[in-house]
């Protein structure tokens, strides 16, 4: 990625009268971090970056950004939001378009073909994270860490994030401006995490998820980081009726995770944001990818690819499998 081109393009876009702000990434202030940022002027655009640390799915901010009350006598700000997108962010945008969560005419989408992001935990296993910010770049099919002026090459397979190893759509599926050439999609190997759970018998599967869900703190970081968990009236926040109790225990935690997983079936675009946000390191990706696999295999549907598609859970085909319907 040519960062100068990225910053110049962003500066031009935020100078437009019809654009409110641009959502992108900038270098973080600690260790192996890149932070989402809202850019409103050329100075902000000059800080933008795109590196193997930019794993945050920026589509989340389209629905998460605070909508300030409109002062009496004023009109709501109807200007466009500009957004940098990798393949997975762009799929979340498409899914939001399908669900009418955002309007296409309100967006300026800047595509960033994505060679894959690192998993910060794997990176820290190879080279421990320190408080001073470090940068990372793609090079020769792998990564290079730039820290204290020193460059260290890192093999791709050692530090590549799991969702990127399994990624089938690294190039933006929708964009108004594409920065750089599309990347060559890589061969996606088996999803060992899901295979391993499928191979267990029912009792062992239950034990596995009991152990995982029992550790959940119900902090809802996974829900808040997810670009597709944006219901204004989430059942988790409801007290009347109380669909899911506030108590943090295996039973209520399981109700939460199953409700969320089924709500995301046919919608989850497998970006991994929920699992990255989880302070308890619960393998949410295995659960979501299992449902995504079922939807793909059983119904031939993959979300976030076609803005004109019917929402999966609202569509019906006469030849849909129905053996499980009682």
Residues near ligand SF4 (CB under 6 A) are 55, 86-88, 114, 116-117, 163-164, 167, 170, 216-222, 225-228, 264, 268-274, 277-280, 282, 284, 288
**In the bound complex, what is the minimum distance in angstroms from residue 274's beta carbon to ligand SF4?**
3
Neighbours of 92 (CB within 10 A): 29
DSSP H helical ranges for 59-179: 60-64, 87-98, 120-126, 156-159, 162-165
Closer residue to ligand SF4 in complex, CB, 220/301: 220
- C-alpha span between 90 and 26 (Å, rounded): 19
**In the bound complex, what is the minimum distance in angstroms from residue 289's beta carbon to ligand SF4?**
8
Element housing 251 (H / E): helix 250-263
Closer residue to ligand SF4 in complex, CB, 153/188: 188
Structural contact between residues 24 and 86, judged by C-beta atoms closer than 8 angstroms: no
Closer residue to ligand SF4 in complex, CB, 24/80: 24
Question: For residues 136, 139, 143 and 144, what is the CA-based torsion angle, rounded to 10 degrees?
Answer: -50
**In the bound complex, what is the minimum distance in angstroms from residue 303's beta carbon to ligand SF4?**
9
Closer residue to ligand SF4 in complex, CB, 22/277: 277
**In the bound complex, what is the minimum distance in angstroms from residue 167's beta carbon to ligand SF4?**
3
- C-alpha span between 143 and 304 (Å, rounded): 28
Phi, psi dihedral angles at 81 (to 5 degrees): -105, 130
Closer residue to ligand SF4 in complex, CB, 11/112: 112
**In the bound complex, what is the minimum distance in angstroms from residue 57's beta carbon to ligand SF4?**
6
């Amino acid at each position: 990625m040519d960062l100068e081109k990225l910053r110049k393009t962003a500066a031009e876009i935020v100078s437009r009268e019809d654009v409110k702000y641009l959502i992108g990434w900038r270098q973080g202030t600690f260790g192996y971090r890149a932070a989402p940022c809202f850019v409103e002027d050329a100075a902000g655009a000059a800080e933008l970056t795109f590196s193997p640390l930019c794993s945050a799915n920026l589509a989340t901010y389209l629905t998460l950004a605070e909508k300030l009350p409109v002062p009496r006598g004023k009109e709501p700000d109807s200007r466009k939001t500009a957004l940098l997108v990798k393949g997975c962010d762009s799929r979340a945008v498409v899914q939001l378009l399908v669900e009418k969560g955002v309007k296409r005419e309100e967006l300026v989408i800047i595509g960033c073909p994505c060679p894959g992001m690192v998993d910060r935990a794997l990176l820290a296993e190879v080279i421990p994270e320190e408080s001073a910010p470090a940068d990372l770049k793609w090079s020769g099919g792998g990564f290079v860490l730039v820290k204290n002026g020193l460059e260290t090459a890192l093999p791709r397979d050692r530090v590549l994030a799991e969702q990127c190893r399994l990624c089938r759509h690294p190039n933006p599926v929708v964009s108004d401006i594409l920065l750089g050439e599309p990347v060559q999609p890589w061969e996606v190997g088996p999803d060992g995490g899901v295979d391993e759970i499928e191979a267990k018998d029912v009792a062992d599967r239950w034990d596995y998820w009991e152990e995982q869900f029992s550790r959940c703190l119900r902090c809802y970081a996974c829900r808040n980081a997810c670009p597709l968990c944006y219901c204004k009236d989430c059942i988790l926040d409801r007290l009347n009726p109380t669909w899911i109790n506030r108590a943090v225990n295996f039973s209520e935690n399981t109700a939460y995770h199953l409700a969320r997983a089924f709500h995301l079936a046919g919608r989850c675009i497998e970006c991994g944001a929920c699992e990255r946000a989880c302070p308890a390191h619960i393998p949410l990706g295995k659960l979501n990818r299992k449902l995504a696999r079922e939807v793909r295999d059983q119904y031939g549907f993959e979300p976030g690819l076609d803005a004109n598609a019917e929402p999966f859970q609202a569509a019906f085909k006469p030849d849909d499998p129905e053996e499980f319907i009682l």
